[in-house]
Amino acid sequence: MRTANPLPEVPPHGGRLVNRLLSGAEAEEARAQAAALPAVSLSSRALADLECLATGVYSPLEGFMDGSDFQAVVSGMQLAGGEPWTVPVTLPVGDAVAGWVKPGSRLALQWQGAPLGVLEVSDCFRPDKEEEAVQVFGTGDADHPGVAALYEGEDFRLGGTVWAWDLPRQDPFAPYRWTPAAVRKAIADRGWRSTAAFQTRNPIHRAHEHLQKVALEVVDGLLVHPLVGTTKQGDIPPEVRLDTYEAVLSHYYPRERTLLTVFPAAMRYAGPREAVMHAIARKNYGCTHFIVGRDHAGVGDYYGTYEAQEIFDRFSLDDLGIQPLKFDHAFFCRACDQMASIRTCPHSTEERVVLSGTEVRRMLRDGEHPPPEFTRPEVAEILVDAFQESGAQRA
């Protein structure tokens, strides 16, 4: 089945794709000026945010949020100007910086001692971390990885516009680090009128494949867009995950209808709110649809199974500008002898091949391949090899 009237090309959030990335002579001049500025060292999460701000992933933001945008997002899931936005994007700093910085101050943003950007400060504020945790993450529990990162971070935040250059490119993901402008061009070159994005922080398995291929029945193209920013301890390394996507796409997908690039953001594990943020970001990449599966961006049992889908009902399509594709939990049913969901399968849970993350990790550590009903053999081989190698290195 194909959509009779596919959606037109989606404009960036706020109407304009932000570009705060300098190159050539402009970058050289900015780098020289930054050498004379006071510096703030970026965490890996802040570095990911800087890349997303500079390249337009977070359009219409042109920098880290000031206090008014921050409070509007925390309390009302919108920017001060009214555009939907669900997760704060701020730069944490300590007392030493907060004690002297003021609006108009310019700071060099450093990563591993090298300046990568400049922040022109518009605001310095101290948020209520407990309120932020409860509103954004839905809990104040410090065992939640996103809440833990919030509580452990610095107490003050800086807001202001940014310029950046020399963002990290010498990594395994360099060939896949496409800016929103580059992805938009690729979509246009392929003639796709409608494109569905798939966000993931896990290796691809048969349930993922099922959702993606159902989406391909109703849209022209698929953007497989794995997140490669900071994740919590215990998550499978992004290089390994990327290998699994390449293996499956090369064997089981029409390559002329798929595009694999990476999403540079860090995970916040904010569940429903982060699902909306992920959708807005993919709108900025030029996608018309966004796949939302079970417990999107969730962790533990902090969120309801379909809470990340239900939050989209709080936004109009006109305001959000990207169509969510909501899917039930998919699994392989032995009785049906195919992938299915609770909407299509009449059989009991005993017929369904469903493995927990804990069970899959145990199998991989023991050198045991998960069954083909759960993941493709090519993916299982990659994961077993990666787990065996990491175990040998620890030994």
pLDDT in tens, 3-21: 444 445 789 999 999 999 9
Q: Per the confidence metrics, is the pTM higher than 0.75?
A: yes
Q: Which residues of the chain have pLDDT under 70?
A: 1-8, 168-170, 391-395
- At residue 56's C-alpha, the angle toward residues 51 and 59, to 5°, is 120
Strands 156-164 and 114-125: antiparallel
Give the phi and the psi of residue 161 in degrees, each rounded to 5. -75, 155
Structure confidence at residue 3 (pLDDT): 45
Structure confidence at residue 335 (pLDDT): 97
Q: Which CATH superfamily is domain 174-394 in?
A: HUPs (3.40.50.620)
Tell me if 50 sits within 8 A of 117, measured CB to CB. yes
Structure confidence at residue 172 (pLDDT): 82
Structure confidence at residue 395 (pLDDT): 41
Of residues 343, 390, 370, the one with CA closest to residue 204: 370
Q: What is the DSSP string of 239-308?
A: HHHHHHHHHHHHHHS-GGGEEE--B-PPP---THHHHHHHHHHHHHTT-SEEEE-TTTT--TTSS-TTHH
Structure confidence at residue 4 (pLDDT): 43
Of residues 229, 283, 264, 265, the one with CA closest to residue 87: 265
**With DSSP H G I counted as helix, E B as strand and the rest as coil, what are the percentages for the chain, rounded to 5?**
40, 20, 40
Structure confidence at residue 191 (pLDDT): 95
Q: What are the structural domain ranges in the chain? A: 22-164, 174-394
Instruction: Give the total residue count for the chain.
Output: 395
pLDDT in tens, 280-303: 999 999 999 999 998 999 999 999
Residues annotated as part of the active site = 201-202
- Per DSSP (E only), the strands in the chain are 39-41, 63-64, 91-93, 106-111, 114-125, 156-164, 195-200, 221-226, 258-260, 289-292, 323-326, 330-333, 338-341, 352-353
Residue 391 tokens read as 């175990």
CATH number of 22-164: 3.10.400.10
Question: Helices 377-394 & 357-365, crossing angle to 10 degrees?
Answer: 70
Query: Residue 36 contacts by C-beta under 8 Å, 6 or more apart in sequence?
Result: none
